[in-house]
Chains A and B, each alone.
Chain A
Amino acid sequence: MRRLTVPISDEEIRSLHVGDTVYLNGVIMTGRDAAHKFMIEHFIRQAPTPEEQPLHDELKRVLDGGVIYHCGPVVKKHEDGSWSFVAAGPTTSIREEVYQADVIRYFNLKGVIGKGGMAGRTLKACQEQPAVYFHAIGGAASLIAQSVKEVVAVHKLDFGVPEAMWVIRVEDFPVVVTMDSHGQSIHDKVQEASKAKFEELLAA
């Protein structure tokens, strides 16, 4: 069992290989479809407006050496105005493939957590950065929510609860490395092997 704390160093990232189980600790941020589109259009393709500069700087700080989590949680708001996570499994990552490589580079991300894996552009960014793709267990939402110890902040809540950017502190968040910084992807391997078997079944 391997424990890592955010921010994660390049050496630690390079030491990870596909198949490794890791327990993540520290402050990470959720971001899915609307968040990725927003970061690209408002911060990466153009300079932030004066009104959005504080949010830009805050994300730069939170994500530097950090981890983004593809997740749209179920949350609970308490009477004192604070929030907690009730259910928080990963969402399908491939929808962010068009954005992810640029987001990794711009914010100096060291990891992306999601499910289902990602494709070539992200894998290449992981090699260069370096960074890795951490696979969380899809649907294991109650269990993962238990590892979210604190909601530190929420940004762009006007995107709706699932699409907002939730800054959270996690303890021993269980993930598996399925794309590493050495160009390896479990997803590519499984796809190739299943393709061969599929063709065999059709030929029979």
Chain B
Amino acid sequence: MTEFNSFDLTENLVELVRRAATILPADMEGALSKATKKEDANSAAEGALNTILDNVKMARENSTPICQDTGTPIFEIFYPLGVSTRKVADQIRDAVAIATERSYLRPNAVDSLTGQNSGDNTGIDFPTMHFHEWDEDHIHVDLLLKGGGCENVSTQYKLPNGGLGAGRDLEGVRRVVLDSVYQAQGKGCAPGVLGVAIGGDRGASYIKSKEQLFRKLEDTNPVPELAELEERILEEGNELGIGPMGFGGKTTLLGVKIGALHRLPASYFVSIAYMCWANRRASMDVTLTDDNVEVQYA
């Protein structure tokens, strides 16, 4: 019987990284394209969006990174019973090192004490990996490349927040999320996508907010009140007029995705993962066949 542990997925993982770094997902490109038509003709906003779209095309055709900040690689790995997660983790580390060598990734892992760049994107808890065992019989890997500029404007609020008149309810969530968009201005490379988590402890809340960024722009939140809030914040965020790159304009956000977690009675956190327009996500599925594995990318 064949089993996953006897296969080396390193080269497939390199391909996953290459795709994430160089091919913008179709939903993101489509949304940018639509946004171009909404901006005033010959405005700085329209110019910025056109440059972005030209760049997306060029990156895909030349297989070069969309953005030079290839960010923190965040891997979410879903695996069936019996897969050695330690082996997969080793292959992921090897894959990012190879992808760096091939210039798909910038060397981005810096020792916080010495300032030394490791040169190959590996280091302490770098890249980020989260393993989830599931009931399916195949392996699924999601990858997000989360840039530093937008990570720096990502933030967390503790409700209630008197200054913003934000209580412990969805209206409070709306207020602090809009504040985060206002505070970010163009610095997170607008137009952005917001991943929002309500609840959890501080750590779980941030992780949940990033997980939201894997959702497709056109999906609908299964929780009706969250779906409604997503739509409202998307609309109001765009009314702020910050625009692409903060040049002013109609397109500040391309999507808002919200998830909720249980929380302590004492705590009510709202975490906002701001993702730049280069919302670089890619995934792969690995299925066992009679004597091999079949890998599909999306």
Contacts and interface: CB of A to CB of B under 8 A. Distances in A.
Interface stretch (A50-58, A104-112, A121-129, A141-149): A141-149
Contacts of B117: 159-163
Contacts, number: 169
Given A137-B51, A139-B276, A189-B248, A198 B106 contact: no
Interface in B62-102: 62, 64-70
B195 interface: no
B246 interface: yes
A193 B245 contact: no
Given A92-B187, A116-B149, A139-B278, A194 B65 contact: no
A190 B236 contact: no
Contact of B248 (A71, A86, A163, A186): A186
A19 B119 CA distance: 38
B217 to A, nearest CB: 17
By size class, the interface of chain A is 35 or more
B116 interface: yes
A137 B276 contact: no
Interface in A68-115: 71-76, 86-89, 91-92, 94, 115
Given A74-B70, A189-B248, A190-B185, A140 B51 contact: yes
Contacts of B240: 194, 197-198, 201
B49 to A, nearest CB: 9
Given A162-B117, A198-B178, A202-B178, A142 B64 contact: yes
A34 B114 CA distance: 13
A197 B147 CA distance: 28
B254 interface: no
A77 to B, nearest CB: 9
Contact of A141 (B67, B105, B110, B185): B67
Contact of A160 (B44, B107, B187): B107
A52 to B, nearest CB: 18
B149 A138 contact: yes
Interface-central residue, B52, B67, B115, B278, by most chain A CB under 10 Å: B67
Contact of A198 (B103, B179, B243): B179
B229 to A, nearest CB: 14
Interface in A154-190: 159-163, 174, 176, 178, 186-187, 189-190
A141 B55 CA distance: 7
Contacts of A116: 149, 185-187, 245-246
Interface of A: 19, 21, 34, 71-76, 86-89, 91-92, 94, 115-117, 135, 137-146, 159-163, 174, 176, 178, 186-187, 189-191, 193-195, 197-198, 201-202
25 contacts: A74-B105, A91-B149, A94-B187, A115-B186, A115-B245, A137-B51, A137-B245, A139-B52, A139-B67, A139-B189, A143-B51, A145-B64, A161-B107, A161-B119, A162-B107, A176-B48, A186-B44, A186-B246, A190-B241, A190-B246, A191-B185, A194-B185, A197-B239, A198-B179, A202-B165
The 5 lowest CB-CB distance pairs between A and B, nearest first, are: A160-B117, A143-B55, A138-B189, A87-B68, A87-B65
